[in-house]
């Protein structure tokens, strides 16, 4: 691979997922405004932000191929962001108990040299158990998922919160749909195997 590959993300979970593909890559965290725009649907927000992150990194790395990602979780049409603290996480998980949450994971692969952009949203639906307040508090005290959309990390103890999952790529739930990424990389002549 002649061009550097960059993951435009501050997420340690996305970095860990990308490492599974055994590709050489660098990680840079793009500083962008992640606010939802007025009348913007959650999947539109996720897609716009994934593209914006990739383009932001392209400003300083014009020869790179850049992976931008973003994830927005929704419950009954309400967007659930990163809780940021224990109290907000308790509120989110109380709202989610016994319900379905859709995680809209947006992926963008941007070749800054050619300005070729591929972008797509990969949805993943999670059904949450009807947990007690004590179970929610215990989970949050152990896992502390305050930087995760929807206050849950399925790759850890958060799997105990979930009763069922539906989607084409379980990695989408963590925030980096690897199946779709491999397809995008292949179209840029980057082969994993």
Q: CA–CA separation, 150 vs 169, rounded Å?
A: 18
pLDDT per residue rounded down to tens, the chain (193 residues):
689 999 999 888 899 999 999 999 999 999 888 888 888 888 999 999 999 999 999 999 999 999 999 999 999 988 888 899 999 999 999 999 999 999 999 999 999 999 999 999 999 999 999 999 999 999 999 999 998 888 888 888 989 999 999 999 999 998 899 999 999 999 999 999 9
**H/E segment holding residue 120:** strand 116-128
Q: CA–CA separation, 69 vs 122, rounded Å?
A: 11
For 149, residues 6+ apart whose C-beta sits below 8 A from its C-beta are 71, 72, 73, 80, 81, 82, 103, 175
5-187 CATH choice from 3.90.950.10, 3.90.550.10, 3.40.50.2300, 3.40.50.10490: 3.90.950.10
- Domain ranges, ordered by start, for the chain: 5-187
Cα distance from N-terminal residue to C-terminal residue, the chain: 13
Residues catalogued as catalytic: 70
**pTM score of the predicted model:** 0.89
Q: In a 3-state reduction of DSSP, which class is residue 69?
A: strand
């Amino acid at each position: 691979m002649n061009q550097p590959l960059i993951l435009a993300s501050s997420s340690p979970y996305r970095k860990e997922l990308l490492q599974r593909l055994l590709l050489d890559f660098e990680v840079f965290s793009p500083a962008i405004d992640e606010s939802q725009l007025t009348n913007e649907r959650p999947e539109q927000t996720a897609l716009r932000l994934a593209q914006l992150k990739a383009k932001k990194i392209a400003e300083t790395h014009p020869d790179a191929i850049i992976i931008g990602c973003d994830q927005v979780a929704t419950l009954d049409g309400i967007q659930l962001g990163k809780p940021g603290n224990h109290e907000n996480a308790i509120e989110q998980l109380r709202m989610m108990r016994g319900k379905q949450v859709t995680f809209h994971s947006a992926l963008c692969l941007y070749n800054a040299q050619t300005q070729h952009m591929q972008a797509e949203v990969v949805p993943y639906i999670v059904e949450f158990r009807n947990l007690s307040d004590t179970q929610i508090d215990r989970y949050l005290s152990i896992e502390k998922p305050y930087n995760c959309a929807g206050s849950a990390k399925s790759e850890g103890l958060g799997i105990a919160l979930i009763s069922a999952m539906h989607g084409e790529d379980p990695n989408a739930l963590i925030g980096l749909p690897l199946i779709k990424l491999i397809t995008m990389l292949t179209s840029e002549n980057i082969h994993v195997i």
